[in-house]
C-alpha cells in the first residue's frame, strides 16, 4: 500500500520532484521512484501512459497530479502554487478534488488538449471559463483515481504566466510519453530568433514551479 502516489506528465518533473523528496529510483524503462509509503511516476502527456504503467504502481490512499501548469489568471506569478478545488474537463463536466491538509484549495484548473502558444489565447480561456490555470493531465488523473475508488487532488506550480504561452516548437521537444528529447530541444532553441530566450525563460519558470510543488508536497507528507 502506498499512502501517497504522485503522478507527473514529464520526466523532468518526475526526476526533479523525486530529488527534492529524497525518493529512490525503481528499475523501469520510465521514471519511477519510491521511498517508504511514497511513490512517484511519470505518466506522459495527457496521462497517455497511465493505463500502461498503472500495473507497476502500488495501490495508494491518495493520488496527486503534480508538476507544472500554465497561468490563465494574470494574478498568478511564475512559481505560484496552484491547488484547485476542481478541474474543468473538455466535455464541460467538473472533476472535484480532495481537500489536502495544510494546502488551501481555490479556483478551477482547466484541462486542455494542447499547449497554449499565446497570451491572447490564455486571456480568452480565462474569460470564457474562469479557470485560473491549465494543464493537460489532471482531469485524466482524477478520473482514473475515482475509478479506483481512491481520493485525488492536484498540486501544480506556474511555469509560464498568463502573458506568455509556450511556442509550438518548444512544446514539441516533449514526446508523448513525457520524455524530453534533448537534441530536438537544442535545435528548437537555436532554430529561430528569440527561441533561446524563450527556452531559458521556460526553464526558469519550470524550476521555480517544481521547487514550489516540492515544498508543498513535503508539507503534505509531514502532515
Q: Which three cell numbers stand for residue 213?
A: 510543488
Structural domain count, the chain? 1
Tens-digit pLDDT string for the chain (223 aa): 469 999 999 999 999 999 999 999 999 999 999 999 999 999 999 999 999 999 999 999 999 999 999 999 999 999 999 999 999 997 878 999 999 999 999 999 999 999 999 999 999 999 999 999 999 999 999 999 999 999 999 999 999 999 998 888 878 888 899 888 887 777 877 777 877 888 888 899 999 999 999 999 999 988 7
What is the span of the domain harbouring residue 19? 2-222
pLDDT of amino acid 1? 47
Please report the DSSP string for 164-220 in residue order: ----HHHHTTB-TTS-B-HHHHHHHHHSSTTHHHHHHHHHHHHHHHHHHHHHHHHHH
Q: Which helix (H) or strand (E) holds 135?
A: strand 133-135
Q: For 42-137, where are the alpha helices, taking DSSP H only?
A: 50-53, 119-129
Q: Indicate which CATH number applies to the domain containing 146.
A: 3.40.50.1580
DSSP tag of 23: P
Amino acid at each position: 500500500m502506498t499512502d501517497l502516489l504522485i503522478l507527473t506528465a514529464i520526466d523532468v518533473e518526475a526526476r526533479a520532484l523525486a530529488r527534492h523528496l529524497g525518493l529512490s529510483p525503481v528499475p523501469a524503462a520510465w521514471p519511477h521512484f519510491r521511498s517508504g509509503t511514497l511513490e512517484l511516476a511519470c505518466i506522459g502527456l495527457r496521462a497517455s501512459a497511465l493505463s500502461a504503467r498503472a500495473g507497476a504502481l502500488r495501490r495508494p490512499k491518495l493520488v496527486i497530479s503534480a508538476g507544472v501548469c500554465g497561468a490563465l489568471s494574470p494574478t498568478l506569478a511564475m512559481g505560484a502554487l496552484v491547488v484547485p478545488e476542481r478541474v474543468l474537463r473538455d466535455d464541460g463536466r467538473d472533476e472535484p478534488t480532495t481537500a489536502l491538509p495544510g494546502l488551501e484549495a481555490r479556483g478551477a484548473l482547466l484541462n486542455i488538449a494542447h499547449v497554449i502558444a499565446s497570451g491572447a489565447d490564455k486571456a480568452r480561456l480565462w474569460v470564457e471559463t474562469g479557470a485560473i490555470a491549465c494543464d493537460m493531465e489532471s482531469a485524466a488523473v482524477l478520473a482514473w483515481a475515482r475509478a479506483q475508488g481512491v481520493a485525488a487532488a492536484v498540486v501544480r506550480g506556474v511555469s509560464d504566466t498568463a502573458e506568455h504561452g509556450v511556442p509550438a516548437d518548444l512544446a514539441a521537444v516533449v514526446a508523448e510519453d513525457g520524455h524530453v528529447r534533448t537534441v530536438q530541444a537544442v535545435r528548437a532553441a537555436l532554430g529561430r530568433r528569440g527561441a533561446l530566450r524563450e527556452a531559458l525563460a521556460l526553464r526558469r519558470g519550470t524550476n521555480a514551479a517544481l521547487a514550489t510543488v516540492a515544498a508543498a508536497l513535503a508539507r503534505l507528507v509531514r502532515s
